[in-house]
Each structure stands twice: as structure tokens, then as C-alpha cells.
Amino acid sequence: MRWVFRLIGFVFVLVGVALIGVIFLPGDRIAQVAADQIRAQTGREVVLKGDSKASFYPVLGISTGALEIANAPWSGSGPLIKADSLKVGVDPMALIGGEVKIVGLEAVNPEILLEKAANGRVNWQLGVEGVAPSGQPSGRSNALALSLDRALISGGVLRYVDHGTGQETRVDDIALDLRWPQYRGAASLKASSRPEGAGALTLTGDIADLAALIEGDVTGIAVKASADGGTVSFDGRAGLPMQAQGLVVADLPDTGAFLASLGFGRVSLPQGLGRRSKVSGDLTLTTAQRLSLRDLSVMLDQNGFAGEVDVDLAAAVPDVTAKLSAGVLDLSGLGGPGGSDSASGWSKAPIDASALGLFNAKVTLGLQGLRVAGLSFGNAGLGITVDRSRAVVTLNRMAGYSGSFAGQVVANNRNGLSVGGNVKVSGVEMQQLLGDLAGITRFTGLSDASVDYLGAGNSVHALMNSLSGKGGVTMGRGTIKGIDLDSLMRKGLATGGTTVFDSLSASFTMEKGDLYNKDLLLQLPVISATGEGRVGLGARDIDYLFTPKAASATSEGGVVIPVRIRGPWSSPKIWPDLEKAIDLNLQDEKKALKEKAETKVKDKLQKELGVEVEEGQSLEDALKKKIEDEAVKGIFDLLKQ
């Protein structure tokens, strides 16, 4: 910021004034004259507290007591800058030659307060007419020919307060070691700080022409930031206001720790999205705070990307536009099945989707493959948008499981995590898909299907147990392993085997993690089958009834034997449902037996209890009427006594 470099100019003014009267004036008077000069150039009141002393040996210079520079008039939060002391030392031999060469500058425990008012005003804008960005009066040359052997800051504190948003940021333990031997020459620096609640951040670098940078020009710069979690370096050209162009390289073995050192808090990234990161690219940052990266190479854990990215840093939340390509993108770390044979079911590990709120984005992504939630896909073209913690992935094209997929998938973390979407599949091999999705490998065949779904929760277990929606599936020729319906129907044997069918169709609904189907229709050459039941998507179990029927069963009185499938996905039990078979096959016999039994009961009630069953009246109603009549008769008898 310009005001920082203006303060460096103010120090030079202090030195110049001190040198003029260092032999003839006491230290307090010298410091007061310097304060008056600073006040004239900044428009801000300068207060010196304590004693100020001039020194002659071993270093020519001056040290002040506590120092305060006033804040903007609209602020009521205290000084803009205050420090316990300020020390300045100069080279007397250079002074004899007409130059000011500062051999030492030290500020002890400085505190800087930066504020932004609700109306957008900032307290570091000095706004003094006639002062150049460097702090020198405009229209003048740099007559002092300044240089700085070494500048030290220790114990510094920086606070930033945005009164419009209520946001407050604090950075502690600020330290600076700056070496600048020639005003129109190179400078080197080493700085460190500790954002509130974070680890230490260290910055080292070289600046080709620090004076040019102070005066608002562009100059060569090479810097490296190091912190817990990794390093980021830049080598190129930069200037003020903030602008840069050059090569940027980031090597972050622990991305979350590095972001915490920058004051972003500890971000927990899923495996595959950058727990470990390596980035390189040609960076351009404009004064409008637009960042572009070209020839970009990114490694996020096991996933590699290439392409170009543009970021609007001036937006309230960074706005990203990108065009990327990758090989096989492995996002299995986002969550998936707990294992198809896992007794514990779906993973209950928390899903941290907070990264969706760090940026908004519009991204096109070309992939050679995709692995996510236990599923594997082939070549894909995706469109990704992120808006206020809501991500939408549009499947422009995606191959997989011998077929293709299209639709949208949504992840919304605005008020807790929810997922949803609508997906259509064509020509998909069901054995592969159901095997990866649910561990079910009994079905084979190509299928067309569609599904609309919605789920909410902070783990895969919670999401699967909350699913709701609807869908349908149609299949051509295929098989069901584990049961031979043809053998069961013709021979009454249920000893495993395989059912070969000509077609299958079904629709379904989902509610609270359960899938319900009532209209399954399975066509075999000489047998058809219907089905209905429940599939527990959350509980990973099934309770389903198949009802196969031979083509001759209706006309020739064939037997219908339903098949019950019940149990966990990993090992369901399959057996003939004899109770249901009796209900379906012996309806006439059951009716005849029921009528015969009712006739015998009628005769018994009429003979022994005098209950007469009228035509159209049930046994229960006749018996009830008899009891009521007897009860009324008993009451009348009691009243007569």
C-alpha cells in the first residue's frame, strides 16, 4: 500500500531534520521538528511521548520514545500507527558527501490499525495535496539520495476492521528485515507474521528497484512465501497498485495447513481435491484485481489438470472461470460404499463440503475417466458451476458401463449438505453398474433407466438413508443368477441356477432411503413374472416377491409358485413362498372349505343356541343380534321383579 512507503519517506525526513541540528539541538527538539515535518506531509497529528535522544557514537542518529500517528477524523478507534520506540542511524561519511545513508532503522512493537468505514472510506488514504506516492513533495527531485543498509521491525501487530461487514482480522508477531543499500537499486527482505489462530508465515525476496516500486512503477521481483504446509514462489515483475506478471509455483504437502497460515482457518479437503497440491503457471494480475493463469499445471493429490483459469478477486467471493482437462479423475475420497460386503453399511465419516463456499465458478472439464462414490466412468465432458456453496455438474457426455450417461448432479451446502439430480442412462450393463453401486451382481443385461433423486445429510450413510425420488428401468434380454425360474415352475425345484429373460420393465419411487416397486414385469419364453417389494438403499437390504407364472397356468390350471427374496444385499435368501403359493393356487378350494365350515357352524348355532342366520347375514352379525336380544330380555325381567 502507498501509505507504507510514504512512511519510509517520512523517516527520511526525520533523518534529514535530525542531521541538520544534531550537534546544536537537544534530542527532544530534533524529534519535535521531525514530527512537524511528518504532520505537514501526511495531514495527520504526530505525538511523541517520552524522551528522544541524539547519539554520536558508535552510530550517528536519533532514538525516540513512544510514537503515535493519528487516525482519520471519522474513526474513533485510536491511532493509525503507534510504536514503543523508533531508532534511526546514519553513515556520517556519506552525510559529508551530501547523501543520507541510513545504516539502521528499527521500530519496536509497532501497532497498525486499518479501517474501512460502512460507506467505503479507508483510514490509510492520506489525501494530502502536493505529496507524491513516495512521500516526497511533488515537483521535487529526490535531493537526499536516500539509501538504507538495514531496517528492522519487531513485535508488530496489524488489525483490519471492516465496519460495513463487521469483519475483523488480526496479524501478530510481524517482523521485517529490509536491506536497501542504494535508493535506485536492489533490495532484499525477510518478513514474518502470524495471523490470528494460525502458524507463522515467512516471506523472503529480492526487489530489483525498490524506489521504482515505491513510486508506483513496475520492477523485477522474486519472492517466496513459506509456512506450515508448504511454499509459494513468484518470479517476474510487479508494481503498485497491486499488479504482477510472472511464473508462480506452489508446492503444498499440506494445503489445509498452508491456508490456515494465511488466516483462512483450517480447511479439510477431501482426498483427490488437494490435500497435497502442486501448481505452476504463468500468472498475470491486473490493477483491477483480475488474475489469470496460463499454461497451468495442477496436481491435487493423485489428480492432474492442465488448462487456463481466470479469477475476479475484486468480487465479494472470488469468481473463477476455467477451461481444464485431466486424465482419470479419482474422486473416490469424496465418499462411497463402505464395501459391498461390509456389515457396517455405508460410511458414516463426515463429509466436509465447506470448500464450496470459498469461491464461485464456471468450469468446463474434459476427462479421460472419472471415479467417484465407488463408480467408474470413461470419457466425459462436464460443465461445473458453483454459486454460493451450491455446485451443479452437468453431464454433457459421459461414457461408462458399456453405455452413456446424461443429466445433472447437484451438491448444495448452503444450509447443510444435500445432494440431488436427474440422470438418464442408455445401454448400461447392469451387472457392472449394480455391482459397483450396491454390490449386486445377480443381474446381467443392457438397460435404459432414469432417476430423479434428492438426499440430505453430512455422511454417505445419512444421504442414502434420506433418499427420495422416482425413476424407471427397461431391459432387453438378460439373466438373473441364483435362481432358475423355469426349473422351479416345471419341476418344482429351487436349487439355484440362472434365469434367462427376454425383457424386464419396472418403475419405482423412493422415500426415506427405501425404494418401492409395484409393477415389475419379467418376460421369459414360456414364463412371465411380476414383482413388488422394497429395496433398502440406506439399510442395504431387500424384501421382494417375484411371482412367476407359466403361460399355460391360467388355461390349463398350472401351478404358480412365488419366490421371496429377503436379506442383506451381500447375501439375500431366496426361497419359494408357500403361503403365498397357497393363496394364489388354492383359492377355489379355500372358498369351498370356507363355505362348508360356515354351513356346519350355522347348523350348530341354530340347533344348540337357537341362532337363526337370515339370508345375506353373516354368522358374526346373527350371533351378535342373538346376544343383544337376550341382553334386552334379561333387563326387562329384572325390571319386573
For residue 293, the model assigns a pLDDT of 95
| Residue 640 grid coordinates | 319386573
Distance CA 101, CA 99 (A): 6
For residue 599, the model assigns a pLDDT of 60
For residue 340, the model assigns a pLDDT of 39
For residue 145, the model assigns a pLDDT of 47
What mean pLDDT is predicted for residues 362-369?
93
Residue 151: count other Cβ atoms within 10 Å of its Cβ. Answer: 20
* More confidently predicted of 564 and 43: 564
Q: Which of 30-39, 112-121, 450-459, 541-550 has the lowest mean pLDDT?
A: 30-39
Give the DSSP H/E element, type plus range, for residue 623: helix 619-640
pLDDT at position 598 over 80: no
Partners of 277 in the β-ladder: 252, 300
For residue 260, the model assigns a pLDDT of 80
In Å, how far from its chain's centre is CA 234?
27
| Residue 479 grid coordinates | 439373466
Per the CB < 8 A criterion, the answer to whether 23 and 55 are in contact is: no
The angle that helices 27-42 and 2-21 make with each other, rounded to 10 degrees, is 150
Distance CA 256, CA 272 (A): 13
What mean pLDDT is predicted for residues 243-249?
95
Pairing between β-strand 573-576 and β-strand 563-568 as defined by DSSP bridges: antiparallel
pLDDT at position 40 over 90: no
At position 8, the amino acid (one-letter code) is I
284-308 as b/e: b if 16+ CB within 10 A:
bbeeeeebbbeebebebbebebebe
Residue 468: count other Cβ atoms within 10 Å of its Cβ. Answer: 16
Sequence spans of domains, the chain: 1-183, 596-640
What mean pLDDT is predicted for residues 431-445?
80
- Residue 324 CA: distances (Å) to CA of 327, 488, 500: 11, 55, 45
Among 89, 108, 237, smallest CA distance to 149 is for: 89
Residues 6+ apart with CB under 8 A from 481: 441, 442, 443, 444, 498
Distance CA 17, CA 37 (A): 9
Distance CA 280, CA 296 (A): 6
Q: Is 41 helix (H, G, I), strand (E, B) or coil?
A: helix
Pairing between β-strand 111-116 and β-strand 147-162 as defined by DSSP bridges: parallel
pLDDT tier at 487 (50, 70, 90 boundaries)?
A: low
Q: Is 549 exposed, middle or buried (0-12, 13-18, 19+ CB in 10 A)?
A: buried
Q: Is 602 helix (H, G, I), strand (E, B) or coil?
A: helix
